[in-house]
Amino acid sequence: MWQQNWRDEIWSRLDQQWDIIIIGGGITGAGILREATRGGYKALLVEAHDFASGTSSRSSKLVHGGLRYLKNMQFKTTLESVSERERLLNQGKGLINRLGFLFTSLEGDTTPGWVFGLGLIAYGLMAQKWQYRHYDAEDMSLLCPPLTTPKLKGGYRYFDAQTDDARLTLRVIQEAVRDGGTAISYVRAQDLLRNQNGKVCGVVLRDESLNGSGRTAEVQAPLVISATGAWADELRTQLGLTERLRPLRGSHLVFPNARLPLMRAVSLIHPADARPVFAFPWEGVTVVGTTDVDVGHNLAVDPAISQAEAEYLLSLVQYAFPEQELAFADVISTWSGIRPVVDTGKAAPSKESREHVIWLEDGLLTVSGGKLTTFRIMARQVLRAARKLLPERHTFDRELPVLDPVEADVLLSESQLKAATTLRLVGRYGIESPSLLVHAQPEDLEYIGDTPYLWAELRWAARTEGVVHLDDLLLRRIRLGLLLPNGAAAEMARIRAIAQPELGWDDMRWESEVLAYNKLWNQSYSLN
């Protein structure tokens, strides 16, 4: 889709009147671009870094109904999330997958297990599925052998879902572009343009890619949407508005599945602060998270886990899975994301509402908060809120799917790969999945180490998916930097042999990208 010189082609046509300019290439901006394009609007999305490089590649990967939000009486958030989870499961097979959960009841938990059971009843009613069951301690141990804590009293089994957040974001953007939308990464919205009435009417864009030479452009539209998540106040303060967000960091530890072998997610109440923390299987590894800490307003582009957060998460797995004897030396990687939460003055960060907000201020429409699961709902609400600023009143077909349908049966019947692998490709690459296999070399159909990725995916991403830097490729297009030790250092020679020619980088560029990638990985994705 994004072939050679794609960036120059987009820059050559920026000087036109757009209906909508969307700032922010995470899942929220992606969803807005998709819905705006479907509505017939001429929409442009710009992202200051890579697509999904912020919170939308650093979440807990869960497409869930927000069971934990019932505790805070956030019924609307939970109901919307349950509905969207079911829709995504039905339409995104291979990308969004059902995941079994075990909620553990341990001695000393501040919340009795039966309270959680009542929540599951409400959860099931919202989903119109009765899919939970209570187990005693012995049966819980059979369902999860590593769960060897002597404090285990019993628990519940229920179901939610998970995804690859960066891949979901990219697929939504790609489908919007295929439908007529425009999206470009590494373009910063440097300044807001205002008309004679003081209302926002466009943006000054700056190309921040290596080959962009700092070029700028003034681009105008009757509607400018800020979908920049935790960074939304940076644009709002340009208008003299008061900051309203409370950025919170959530961090994760990644362990080899061999050291913490889980078939289902395990939900635990941390004894230190009574917060729910999950340990769950994902892409062949086991992830433990998340934390919830204030980070102030000097936000890092690439946040990193703190020592205190790492100790907090490790102490929980040592408490719940003592016989695994896990230590920091077992950690493959880490990741941290910044949540955009509205500041309502709650003492504890975890008490703040996760519901999204929409503010229309001086012509700038800001959307922030919310969850990965409900990105489509947010997108439609944003466009409804802004209709008075748009040139025409388009109608939106509520029956259209979240993701474009793909004829998976044909590819499944023709592919020589395992059915599960083929379905995974269909989910991740959508309509492009047959082309990915057609352009693969025979040796590309091997798995990369112990990961679920094929070398063919690396080749396809480097060739067609708008990679500007090496971390785009290894941290978001395919997640090797999270799944393999030392950021996939042991595989770098073969990565180079495949990716460098596809990217068209000379040796000097490749070596500089590797140095930058290693520096980033050590700073933001390791315990160093």
Question: Strand locations in 148-215, DSSP E?
Answer: 152-162, 182-184, 187-194, 200-207
What's the confidence (pLDDT) of residue 347? Answer: 66
DSSP state for residue 58 in the 8-state scheme: S
Backbone torsion region of residue 296, taken as left when φ is above 0, otherwise alpha when ψ lies between -120 and 50, otherwise beta: left
Can the peptide bond before residue 37 be classed as cis, meaning omega within 30 degrees of 0?
A: no
Q: Could you tell me if 485 and 478 are in contact, meaning their C-beta atoms sit under 8 angstroms apart?
A: no
pLDDT at 391: 77
CB neighbours of 255 closer than 8 A, spacing ≥ 6? 285, 286, 287, 288, 317, 326, 330, 331, 332
Cα–Cα distance for residue pair 141/39, rounded to 1 Å = 51
Beta carbons of 232 and 28 less than 8 angstroms apart: no
Other beta carbons less than 10 A from residue 507's beta carbon = 9
Separation CA 107–CA 494 (nearest Å): 50
Q: Which of the 8 DSSP states describes residue 454?
A: B
Closest alpha carbon to 24 in 253, 303, 231: 231
If we measure between CA atoms, which residue out of 35, 88, 28 comes closest to residue 54?
28
CA dihedral 51, 56, 60, 63 (to 10 degrees): -110
Please give the class, per CATH, of domain 6-55+166-244+353-389: alpha beta
The full set of domain ranges for the chain reads 6-55+166-244+353-389, 246-342, 439-524
Residue 106 tokens, joined:
């341990």
CATH code of domain 246-342: 3.30.9.10
CB of 251 closer than 8 Å to CB of 335: yes
- What's the pLDDT score for residue 72? 61
DSSP secondary structure letter of residue 301: S
Q: According to the model, what pLDDT value does residue 146 have?
A: 97
3-state secondary structure of 509: helix
Contacts of 395 (CB under 8 A, 6+ apart): 39
Helices and strands of the chain, counted as H and E runs: 17, 19
pTM, entire model: 0.94
Q: Smallest Cα–Cα separation from 67: which of 138, 107, 117?
A: 117
13 token code pair:
């046509």
Sign of CA dihedral 401, 406, 412, 416: negative
CA distance 41 to 33: 9
* Per-block mean pLDDT, blocks of 10 residues, the chain (528 long): 86 94 97 95 97 96 75 68 88 95 88 69 65 89 96 92 97 97 97 94 94 87 96 93 92 98 95 92 96 87 95 97 98 95 72 80 92 92 91 74 85 81 94 92 94 97 97 98 98 98 97 98 94
Query: For residue 407, how many other CB atoms are within 10 A of its CB?
Result: 10
The Cα-based distances of 520 to 110, 197, 294, 474, 475 in angstroms read 39, 44, 22, 12, 10
